[in-house]
């Protein structure tokens, strides 16, 4: 896709049942919720997290927090299967020994989107971002280091994994509004797991 960025087609598909079961458990302990941006907009994507810290946004800003603000409890721990999948994908993308401490879980229902942004709330930019797509297909927009750089569109389908790091670690990216559909395993939604090493 770019220097430091690869798209691994169907990489996570063999683990789909395991991932679905783990996701169900995580979401029962830390339900998906639509968070509010610092500017006061409610995001169309519903989110939860697992791992040592979770990405959150509210009127105070964006940050990683060890506590789920909705429950007052730590986020569910990252299942070993998630950790292993992320490390294998990163290695395939040329990043050895990826040890994520956070997994943001995004749930897109039809119409939900994610505007162009950089992942820059981490303090470690040496580690890549590993992003796993499950369920309905989506259009991933992948640009460059500047917001104004031209974006390319990639159709991400169930099981696809994108790894970006090194020269493309801070590249702008986003998701176009999700088209309606029905996935045999995940139903009327797309789930995205985004693994990060925050510190």
Which of Fe ion, ligand SIN, none sits in contact with 48, Cβ below 5 to 8 A by type? none
Q: Between 49 and 194, name the residue whose CB sits nearer to ligand SIN.
A: 194
169 binds ligand SIN (CB under 6 A): no
Residue number of the CB atom closest to ligand SIN: 192
Which of ligand SIN, Fe ion, none sits in contact with 78, Cβ below 5 to 8 A by type? none
Which of ligand SIN, Fe ion, none sits in contact with 49, Cβ below 5 to 8 A by type? none
CA 198 to chain centre: 13
**Among residue numbers 30 through 49, which ones bind ligand SIN (CB under 6 A)?**
none
The length of the chain in residues reads 199
Give the H or E element holding residue 22.
helix 16-29
3 state SS of 160: coil
**Among residue numbers 95 through 114, which ones bind ligand SIN (CB under 6 A)?**
104, 106, 114
Q: Do 122 and 194 touch, CB atoms closer than 8 A?
A: no
Residues 114-153: x/- map of binding to ligand SIN (CB under 6 A)?
x----------------x--------x-------------
Which stretches does DSSP call E strand in the chain?
5-8, 33-36, 42-51, 54-58, 61-65, 102-108, 114-117, 129-135, 138-142, 152-156, 161-164, 173-175, 190-196
175 binds ligand SIN (CB under 6 A): yes
3 state SS of 142: strand
Binding residues for Fe ion, rule: CB under 5 A, are 119
Residues that bind ligand SIN (CB under 6 A): 104, 106, 114, 131, 140, 173, 175, 192, 194
């Amino acid at each position: 896709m770019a220097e430091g960025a690869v798209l691994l087609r169907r990489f996570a598909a063999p683990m789909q049942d395991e991932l679905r079961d783990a996701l169900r458990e995580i979401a029962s302990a830390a339900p998906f919720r639509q968070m509010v941006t610092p500017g006061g907009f409610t995001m169309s994507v519903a989110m939860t997290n697992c791992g040592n810290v979770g990405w959150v946004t509210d009127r105070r800003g964006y940050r990683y927090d060890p506590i789920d603000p909705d429950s007052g409890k730590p986020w569910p721990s990252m299942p070993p299967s998630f950790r292993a999948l992320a490390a294998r994908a990163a290695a395939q993308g040329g990043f050895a020994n990826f040890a994520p401490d956070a997994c943001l879980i995004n749930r897109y229902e039809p119409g939900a989107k994610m505007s162009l942004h950089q992942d820059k709330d981490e303090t470690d930019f040496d580690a890549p971002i590993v992003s796993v797509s499950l369920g309905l297909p989506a259009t991933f927009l992948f640009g460059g280091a500047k917001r104004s750089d031209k974006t390319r569109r990639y159709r991400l389908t169930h099981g696809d994994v994108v790894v970006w790091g090194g020269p493309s670690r801070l590249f702008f990216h986003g998701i176009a509004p999700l088209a309606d559909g029905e996935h045999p395993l995940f139903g009327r939604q797309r789930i995205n797991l985004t693994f990060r090493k925050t510190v």
